[in-house]
Amino acid sequence: MRRIVTRVAVVLIGVLAAARVANAQGAEFSLGGGASVPLSNFGDVAKTGYHGLVGISFAPASFPLGFQFDGQYHRLKQDDNIGDRTNQIIMGTGNLIYKFKTSEDSKFRPYLIAGAGIYNFKLVSGNNVAGPGVGNTGNTATDFGLNAGAGFDIKARGIGFFAEGRFHDVFNDGPNTKFIPITVGIRLGGN
């Protein structure tokens, strides 16, 4: 647990330090987290879990389209009747963002987001964090998937707050894995 906290702190310090440079280039860093809700067949075997998100986006102020690249880490425990196992998902996505035009004075900015990514699934025993050879039950797969969702930003000076929900559909052997992360967080830099 101490390693995870240390890694999260290092990432947070790095994001904060890079925000000033990114602001000059129009880039925006995102840091967030929230609930991961399993759907369909995945919802039959997994409980609602949690996730963290780190991302960078490029969206010019004068143009409604932009790009966002993000990485997420998810943990969803298996249902009690299946055993003491946890689904670990590590993923990276590339997305298009459409920001709706609002008035110059508005601090509230809704957006749509959609893209594709690579998803690594690992079934781990108990609450172990599955590093190389640690807590891995041997069930692992890396697959391609698509995502789409909506959210909104609230800008307050140099810091923005955001909330979004995205539907993820991962193509794998058997039924597709479907889930919705509901994320809240902060954005640093940007326009």
Range of the domain at 142: 2-189
Q: Kindly tell me if the per-residue pLDDT of 153 is higher than 80.
A: yes
DSSP 64: S
Residue 118 contacts residue 73 (beta carbons within 8 Å): no
Residue 18 has pLDDT above 60, yes or no: no
What's 129's domain CATH number?
A: 2.40.160.20
The whole-model pTM stands at 0.81
What is the total count of domains within the chain?
1
* pLDDT value, residue 157: 74
pLDDT at 48 over 50: yes
**What's the angle, vertex CA 132, arms to CA 129 and CA 133, rounded to 5?**
90
The larger pLDDT score, comparing residue 126 to residue 147, is at: 147
**DSSP secondary-structure letter at 20?**
H
Q: How confident is the model at residue 134 (pLDDT cuts 50, 70, 90)?
A: very low
* Strand extents, DSSP E, 2-106: 27-39, 49-58, 65-77, 85-99
d(CA 103, CA 25): 23
Question: Is the pLDDT score of 44 beyond 60?
Answer: yes
Strands (E), the chain: 27-39, 49-58, 65-77, 85-99, 108-125, 136-156, 159-171, 177-189
